[in-house]
Amino acid sequence: MDWAFVLVIILSVFLALFLLLGIILVILLIRVTLQIKSVTESAQRTADTIEQTVTGASRFVSPAILFGTLYSKAKSFKRKK
């Protein structure tokens, strides 16, 4: 056997090994990407829920604060008279 054939065989083995490793890494990358996508969707749902809760709470809190302020002003106005 000539040295050129030995070198071709060695290079072919390494090429096949790197091709196999590349395929495995692409599969793992796809899995990680899908997991990241599910985590971001979950975080988005949580943020939307919190936003809806805060919006709903602000509808009740704002009139209560306004009423409390007006009540305290009216109370202090009655004391001055």
Is pTM beyond 0.85? Reply is no
Question: Cα–Cα distance between 38 and 16 in angstroms, integer?
Answer: 34
pLDDT per residue rounded down to tens, the chain (81 residues): 798 999 999 999 999 999 999 999 999 999 999 999 999 999 999 999 999 988 887 777 777 777 777 788 787 776 665
Nearest alpha-carbon partner for 45 in 35, 37, 33: 37
Residue labelled with tokens 């009655």? 78
**CA pseudo-torsion sign 60, 62, 67, 68:** positive
Q: Which domain holds residue 3?
A: 1-81
Domain tally, the chain = 1
